[in-house]
Structure 1
């Protein structure tokens, strides 16, 4: 399964989700390809230093360069998980023929209509909270994918 995580600038939430989920999927033996992109990303931007540090505390390396979500990304993905409803709507508006595979991460993993808080500009503690929120959601996602695999 090819999964892409999407946020705004692809420097905080989606790269953290990508790195966290790669780690979780590897531990659980899930056969997934994972990447991230942004709906308004500058090409070749760096990940936030606090995002890097928050993941480093979990022994997860974040070597990341930002990228803009492209039509090729959308077509190649089996599942597109956004951080907010606004990201979801932007993608559906731009790539409407693929709307059946676009969900917010909270909608898909936890069944709730809420956004993942944006840590951009916050303290390291804010980034830790975002990391932990994502980690909980990604563990739920992994459980769902594991159940689907076992069927």
Structure 2
């Protein structure tokens, strides 16, 4: 299964989510990330890198702009917010059946946005990391049940 995480600039939430899931080393799961307003080739935010390093989660990252080839590659697209989901469905209507907000997909009773650490301090990034870690725990359970 190919999973694509999507956020705004592909520098904070989606690359952290990608790294967290990749670190689980689940067989037959391929993971990428992209951003609705991302530019190709950018770095992950410094605080995002610091949080992953502190948690000993390996990562390599270059930001990627959302494009049709990524939508075609993905079996499942998990967005960080409702507006990301709507943007993808608007731009790529053929993907409607595989696009979900991350929280909507793993915890359907609480379909809220993943908090955005952009512009925040290290503590803010750590809270978002914990949120993504919890969501990834739930995602892994769900994938293993299917």
Normalising by the smaller structure, the TM-score range is over 0.9
Partner of 1:53 in structure 2? 50
Task: Please state whether the residue corresponding to 1:37 is helix, strand or coil.
Answer: strand
Partner of 2:125 in structure 1? 127
Give yes or no for contact 2:117–2:124 (8 Å, CA) kept in 1: yes
Partner of 2:19 in structure 1? 19
1:97 offset after TM fit, Å?
1.1
Q: Deviations over 1:18-57 (max 9, x none)?
A: 0001112x1xx43200000000001211100000000111
> After the TM superposition, which parts of structure 1 deviate over 2 Å for at least 4 consecutive aligned residues?
none
> Number of aligned pairs?
145
TM-score by length of 1: 0.94
Task: Please state whether the residue corresponding to 1:6 is helix, strand or coil.
Answer: strand
- Extract unaligned runs of 5+ from structure 1: none
State how far apart, in whole Å, the 1-side matches of 2:89 and 2:51 are: 31
Give yes or no for contact 2:23–2:58 (8 Å, CA) kept in 1: no
1:18-97 map, 5 Å? 18-24=18-24, 26=25, 29-97=26-94
State how far apart, in whole Å, the 2-side matches of 1:30 and 1:115 are: 28
Give yes or no for contact 1:52–1:61 (8 Å, CA) kept in 2: no
TM-score by length of 2: 0.97
State how far apart, in whole Å, the 2-side matches of 1:30 and 1:92 are: 29
- Extract unaligned runs of 5+ from structure 2: none
Partner of 2:112 in structure 1? 114
